[in-house]
Amino acid sequence: MMSRDGYEVVIGLEVHVQLATESKIFSSDVNSFGGNPNENISAVTIAHPGTLPLINKKAVDYAIKMGLALGCTINRELIFDRKNYFYPDLPKGYQITQDTTPICVGGGLEVVREDGQKKFIELTKIHLEEDAGKSMHVEGEDYTLVDLNRAGVPLIEIVTEPVLRTPEEAALFLAEIRKIIRYLGISDGNMEEGSMRCDANVSIRKAGEPLGSKVEVKNMNSIRNVTRAILFEIERQTDLKQCGKTIFSETRTFNPTRGDTTGMRTKEELNDYRYFPEPDISPLSIDEEWIRRLQAEMPELPQQLKARFENEYGLPAYDAGVLTEEKEIADYFLDTIGHTTSYKAVSNWLMGPVKSYLNEKGISIQAFPLAPARLADLLALVQSGTVSHTAASQQLFGYLLEHPDESAEESARKLNLVQEGNPDRILALVEEVLGQHPDKVKAYLNGKKALTGMFMGEVMKKAGGTIDPKETSRLIIETLESKR
Amino acid sequence: MMKRRNFLRNSTLGTLAVPALATSCMAPSGSNAGTAEESIGYNEFELLEATIASLQQKMENGDLSARKITEMYLARIEAIDQAGPRLNSVIERNPDALSIADQLDKERAEGKVRGPMHGIPVMIKDNIDTGDQMMTTAGALALEGNKAANDAFIIAKLRESGAVLLGKTNLSEWANFRSTRSSSGWSSRGGQTRNPFVIDRNPCGSSSGSGSAVSANLCAVTIGTETNGSIVCPSSTNGVVGIKPTVGLLSRSGIIPISFSQDTAGPMARTVADAAILLGVLTGVDEKDSKTTASTGNALVDYTPFLDKGALSGARIGVWRSPFGFHEKVDEQLEQSLEVLRAQGAELIDIEEVIPGIKELYGPSRLVLEYEFKDGLNKYLAGANATSGVKSLSDVIAFNKANEKEAMPFFRMEILESSEKRGGLDETEYLEAVTMLQKRSREGITLTMETHRLDAIVGPTGGPAWQIDVVNGDHFGGGSSSPAAWSGFPNITVPAGFVHGLPIGMSFFGLPWSEGRLISLAYAFEQARPVRQAPGFLPTVAF
């Protein structure tokens, strides 16, 4: 993307993902969100002298899984480093992270832009580290509160190369990353709760020039806000260039209410942190066996699954995209088609009535009352013509949601929704209606073909809507034609 | 989605319909309150439920002028405030209103439109200075004749915006800081204001007239003031939107005070959009109010960009549970409202208590207010020019004693008296209490918001209106205003439903300067659950 007056935009992302392990990365403290302040902290978390960190193997598993999903090279030796800085929410005075030997290197992810263009976004690395605590400034008071519950929560940091060019690409990348971590079950990816956080490095340059000073923007708690923050930053930097001013390399914070960014601090140089290898954790070797085991546990990933839904089940790309948006929806689809081969019909029902119901109730598919087999039964009734589509979606579906244990077919009978497929009964009704309208029959035979619609209406009225319209229409025409 | 909307609409109509039908045959005979048939006539008003945008449109098209609109509202005040159901919400009409309107029409004809408030009639609470022909009295007879030399800072802003100052609204006398047995909406100068939904009911207070008047369509929007609940309660009870902004967003200079640490003015309106428009034109740093310096960089002059229907999607909202349980029908309306938030995509997190040990804070709160009232009121009264000549709180007390029959016919003035006994603001007792109150309330909200990463906390604003009772005083039914009031943080109430035909509201409060975010959430809620109805002026609730 070109900003105003021909500046090229360069964006790199740093995505922090909190891993959903039960305990923290270097201690047995509970890893959970929303508890009372300083509830989940032990001597290790608050860095009492003499305490030693012990690596949580599950966290390493999760980091490797993410690396495998993104096609990274997995480093066979796990080495941690200390990043030294002072902040009240960092009780040790340093963060245990990975500097020169991140657990995953390279790899990347393809996104499809609105214009249909595909773009591969390369990763620099993924590294493992611990989260810091949280400082809370109480507005109007002259002190800051510190909550260390979050200190020591395992994180992976996914770093992209500076290859993104538009806020749209950033949004697509984040949506895809979130989908993958949810498929892998390594995090809930909830940006609002902060279990996935994104910092954006934004700079602009004239085409062909070296990279401009990069500005890091923080504090975006939704994908939409990442887009807003990047857009604002592009405008701000372009304005500065326009006026011939210097863009400083700095960290800025996004204000979601105002939609702007404000300076927090000028950027530290890397050597300010005095990285050195963590002496309290000995290097750990990651062998073939370990990786093979994780590979075997890998689920089918959203992009693969989407391709399979298109190729194997013949779903349109749009349907496949919607159904694979959430793993649980995709699983529900797969469970349902275990009972029926009407793939497109299942897709229609999931994207239509089922989704509307979930949205209206504000629940996820896991809380959907109807089992996949029951939904398949309902579909079968429509397919066989036993129940009309309208009756199924407007009456039977709602009834089954209230009575999820009853059989679809019995419920249809109980609600009097079963369509009469018996040609004899339909024929009798047709004869009766035709007999009542001899003039109209004559008009039909004289060429007013449109009258079939009127006959159809009359017959359906008599049958109370419980007969198959297709069959009825065929019998009306047949009977009329036989009178020639 | 559509079906759900219809259901909500029908169900709210349903709750209104019950008393409406019943009262037509059950109205007490001989009551001078209008009958239900008459009340239908009260709503045959061309500007009924007019929004600022719709009035602006009509003036732009040339269908109406500011003068015509002003005349229509003045006629309506005459018809239902001074006659008919006699709401008694307006304490004084501005004799200059029509000439202001003419001036604004002239400007418009010359192609100058100042902004969205150009030509819009506004009424303000009677404790806000206007440097014109109207008095500023906080409803007190002791202040009869007090004509301010200058407009309050926010009134100067209001005039600059092109609003037509239509009049002043009645209030609970001294913004309800006189007696614990007071009747909200009663003042010795203005008498008792009524609730336009059911006129033997109380409009709550202390911005009683502002709530009653704007709800009854006596003007486009009103301004109220709050120390603790005085905007949000009457807004809720009269079925309108009220914004109590962060202390410091709107200047308090030229407003008869209770509390330097808690007081603020704020807009009251029939829609969130109207309230947002009015809020924006009133902001600004005022050297006479030190609290406003903090608003630099935090205040906006236009809050309408936050009117975002989709704002609830992905929002995280805390539900403060302890103010529930006062009235099962209020709870029911609130639960339905929460369901709407959820259906709009918000995540709800139950919070039992926002401020741990909140009950310990009510005592210190009263103490803080008494100290600050004495100090602030004495400063204000030193510049007053009332007929009575009062220049201090002790003068007011003496005046009330000397004029007991007129000034104190129903309840006394024990809060004025206990305030008078307080020392200066340098007393340890005061300093300790105010520090504790602010620390505990600010910490409580901040920790709750940060721990759960919330955008706002919601709770019931209050119960349905109680019957007017000047003999025994008010009968409050719970509320959620205190955390935002003590901390100085913002709070917005939006109509959320009806209980026996009486409106109730839901409050959204949050961190300082988050008015924009709160407005967006309140707006999205209002659009998804549009329960606001013009009041029906029923004589009583059927039983």
pLDDT in tens, A177-229: 999 999 999 999 999 889 999 999 999 998 888 888 889 999 898 999 999 99
In a shared domain, residues A318 and A465: no
In a shared domain, residues A374 and A430: no
Domains of chain B: 2-528 (3.90.1300.10)
Entry field: residues in chain B: 543
Given a cut of 60, is residue B61 above it in pLDDT?
yes
pLDDT digits (tens, 9 = 90+) for A146-182: 999 999 999 999 999 999 999 999 999 999 999 999 9
Q: Which residues contact B97 (CB under 8 A, 6 or more apart)?
A: B70, B74, B121, B164, B165, B166, B167
- Separation between Cα atoms, residue A448 and residue B523, nearest integer Å: 56
Domain end among A289, A317, A345: A289
In a shared domain, residues A360 and A431: no
pLDDT digits (tens, 9 = 90+) for A37-54: 999 999 999 889 999 999
In a shared domain, residues A43 and A167: yes
Nearest to A139 among B316, B442, B453 (CB): B442
In a shared domain, residues A95 and A171: yes
Q: Say what the pTM is.
A: 0.83
The answer to whether B439 and B483 are in contact (CB under 8 A) is no
Pick among A138, A227, A361 to test the B interface (most B CBs inside 10 A): A138
Average confidence (pLDDT) over B437-455: 94
Residue A148 is assigned to a structural domain of this protein: yes
pLDDT score recorded for residue B7: 34
Residue A229 is assigned to a structural domain of this protein: yes
Pick among B7, B453, B521 to test the A interface (most A CBs inside 10 A): B453
Residue A295 is assigned to a structural domain of this protein: no
Q: How far is A356 from chain B (nearest CA, A)?
A: 8
Inter-chain residue contact A145 with B443, CB threshold 8 Å? yes
pLDDT score recorded for residue A360: 81
Q: How far is A429 from chain B (nearest CA, A)?
A: 36
Task: Select from A84, A102, A79 the least CA-distant residue to A94.
Answer: A84
In a shared domain, residues A260 and A283: yes
pLDDT score recorded for residue B40: 54
Inter-chain residue contact A141 with B488, CB threshold 8 Å? no
pLDDT score recorded for residue B382: 97
pLDDT digits (tens, 9 = 90+) for B491-543: 999 999 999 999 999 999 999 999 999 999 999 999 999 999 999 999 999 87
- Separation between Cα atoms, residue A402 and residue A394, nearest integer Å: 13
The 3-state secondary structure of chain A, one letter per residue: CECHHHEEEEEEEEEEEECCCCECCCCCCECCCCCCCCCCCCCCCCCCCCCCCCCCHHHHHHHHHHHHHCCCEECCEECCEEEECCCCCCCCCEEEECCCCCCEECCEEEEECCCCCEEEEEEEEEEEEECCCEEEECCCCCCEEEECCCCCCEEEEEEECCCECCHHHHHHHHHHHHHHHHHHCCCCCCCCCCCEEEEEEEEEEECCCCCCCCEEEEEECCHHHHHHHHHHHHHHHHHHHHCCCCCCCEEEEEECCCCEEEEEEECCCHHHHCCEECCCCCCEECCHHHHHHHHHHCCCCHHHHHHHHHHCCCCCHHHHHHHCCCHHHHHHHHHHCCCCCCHHHHHHHHHHHHHHHHHHHCCCHHHCCCCHHHHHHHHHHHHCCCCCHHHHHHHHHHHHHHCCCCCHHHHHHHCCCCCECCHHHHHHHHHHHHHHCHHHHHHHHCCCCCHHHHHHHHHHHHHCCCECHHHHHHHHHHHHHHCC
Q: How far is B372 from chain A (nearest CA, A)?
A: 18
Residue A181 is assigned to a structural domain of this protein: yes
Q: What is the DSSP letter of B311?
A: T
Nearest to A140 among B300, B442, B516 (CB): B442
Given a cut of 70, is residue B54 above it in pLDDT?
yes
Domain end among A414, A433, A461: A414
Residue A294 is assigned to a structural domain of this protein: no
Domain end among A248, A266, A289: A289
In a shared domain, residues A378 and A438: no
Nearest to B443 among A138, A192, A257 (CB): A138
Given a cut of 80, is residue A267 above it in pLDDT?
no
pLDDT score recorded for residue A288: 95
Domain that holds residue A370: 300-414
In a shared domain, residues A371 and A438: no
Q: What is the mean pLDDT of chain A?
A: 91
* CA-CA-CA-CA torsion sign (B225, B230, B236, B237): negative
Given a cut of 60, is residue A266 above it in pLDDT?
yes
* CATH for A453: 1.10.10.410
Average confidence (pLDDT) over B333-338: 97
Task: Select from B28, B206, B191 the least CA-distant residue to B128.
Answer: B206
Residues from chain A contacting residue B354 (CB–CB below 8 Å): none
Q: By CA distance, what is B511's nearest residue in A?
A: A139
Inter-chain residue contact B451 with A222, CB threshold 8 Å? no
In a shared domain, residues A233 and A116: yes
Residues from chain A contacting residue B350 (CB–CB below 8 Å): none
Average confidence (pLDDT) over B265-271: 98
Residue A102 is assigned to a structural domain of this protein: yes
Inter-chain residue contact A193 with B316, CB threshold 8 Å? yes
Nearest to A360 among B4, B300, B443 (CB): B4
Distances from the Cα of B403 to the Cαs of B91, B384, B396, B408, B457, in angstroms?
A: 20, 19, 10, 8, 46
Inter-chain residue contact B443 with A141, CB threshold 8 Å? yes
Distances from the Cα of A368 to the Cαs of A329, A357, A400, B384, in angstroms?
A: 11, 9, 11, 67
Q: How confident is the model at residue B22 (pLDDT cuts 50, 70, 90)?
A: very low
Inter-chain residue contact A34 with B443, CB threshold 8 Å? no
In a shared domain, residues A236 and A316: no
pLDDT score recorded for residue A484: 77
Asked about B125 being catalytic, the answer comes back as yes
Residues from chain A contacting residue B517 (CB–CB below 8 Å): 256-257
Q: Please report how many Cα atoms fall inside a 13 Å half-sphere around the Cα of residue A119, on the Cβ side.
A: 18
Chain A and chain B share a number of CB contacts under 8 A equal to 65
**Which residues of B fall below an 8 Å CB-CB distance to A?**
1, 4, 300, 306, 314, 316, 342-343, 345, 347, 349, 438-439, 442-443, 446-447, 450-453, 487-489, 511-514, 516-517
Marked catalytic residue, from B58, B65, B89, B125: B125
In a shared domain, residues A312 and A256: no
Domain count, chain A: 3
Report the share of chain B in percent with pLDDT over 90: 91
Task: Kindly state the tokens that stand for A345.
Answer: 């019909």
Q: By CA distance, what is A359's nearest residue in B?
A: B343
Residues from chain B contacting residue A359 (CB–CB below 8 Å): 1, 343
Given a cut of 60, is residue B11 above it in pLDDT?
no
Given a cut of 80, is residue B177 above it in pLDDT?
yes
Q: Which of A376-390, B225-239, B366-380, B418-432 has the weakest average pLDDT? A: A376-390
Residues from chain B contacting residue A224 (CB–CB below 8 Å): 314
Distances from the Cα of A179 to the Cαs of A65, A189, A300, B231, in angstroms?
A: 14, 8, 12, 45
Given a cut of 60, is residue B44 above it in pLDDT?
yes
In a shared domain, residues A247 and A114: yes
Q: How confident is the model at residue A269 (pLDDT cuts 50, 70, 90)?
A: low
Alpha helices in B161-259 (DSSP H): 173-176, 208-215, 232-237
Residues from chain B contacting residue A36 (CB–CB below 8 Å): 451
Asked about B313 being catalytic, the answer comes back as no
**Which residues of A fall below an 8 Å CB-CB distance to B?**
34-37, 134, 136-141, 145, 147, 192-194, 221-222, 224, 256-258, 356, 359-362
Given a cut of 70, is residue B2 above it in pLDDT?
no
